[in-house]
Amino acid sequence: MFNLFKKKQDQGIMIGAPVKGKAVSISEVSDPTFGGEILGKGVAIIPEEGKVYAPADGTIDLLFDTCHAVSMTTTDGVEVLVHIGLDTVALKGEHFTAHKATGDSVKKGDILITVDLEAIKNAGYDVITPVVICNTDDYASVEALAGKEVGVGDDVLKITK
């Protein structure tokens, strides 16, 4: 009962997995823009299913016309980019279906995009999905929780203010 007034330990801001699959280090992404952390620190997920969900509560800043990527700002102010596959912008939206739009408010776990992963692989594209914190410099640390199988919404990034 006396613990009621103790300050709650700050667990940091947690970002969930937008897709089910294997979480790996962002350095495993062959594209240097992501693997070299040019856009920010993050994690990558090798997806098992073609459904992409909101990794946190927030607002969609930009759902690309080609539906290959979505940028959002969480209610905590974290700027998250989810990029489905590498060079998939070249598909011009083929094999992608959006379920939300730019400006929409979303809750963690809301469906954002469905993707035909097999069609994308058959077209010769890597489906690895980087999840990048674009405002990394605003935080003391951005830690990837990689090296494990993850379900949708499982913690994959821990951000410390």
Confidence at residue 7, expressed as pLDDT on a 0 to 100 scale: 43
- In the numeric block, the tokens 């006396």 are attached to 2
**Is 83 labeled as catalytic in the residue annotation?**
yes
What is the mean predicted confidence (pLDDT) over 2-30? 81
**HEC assignment per residue over the chain:** CHHHHCCCCCCCEEEECCCCEEEEEHHHCCCHHHHCCCCCCEEEEEECCCEEECCCCEEEEEECCCCCEEEEEECCCCEEEEECCCCHHHHCCCCEEECCCCCCEECCCCEEEEECHHHHHHCCCCCCEEEEECCHHHCCEEEECCCEEECCCCEEEEEEC
Selected catalytic residue, list 68, 83, 95, 99: 83
- pLDDT tens readout for residues 123-157: 999 999 999 999 999 999 999 999 999 999 999 99
Q: Specify whether the CB–CB gap between 99 and 82 falls below 8 A.
A: no
Q: What is the pTM of this model?
A: 0.93
- Answer yes or no: is pLDDT of 6 > 80: no
First-to-last CA distance in the chain?
29
- Answer yes or no: is pLDDT of 93 > 80: yes
What is the mean predicted confidence (pLDDT) over 8-13? 69
- pLDDT tens readout for residues 94-114: 999 999 999 999 999 999 999
Confidence at residue 112, expressed as pLDDT on a 0 to 100 scale: 98
- Answer yes or no: is pLDDT of 158 > 70: yes
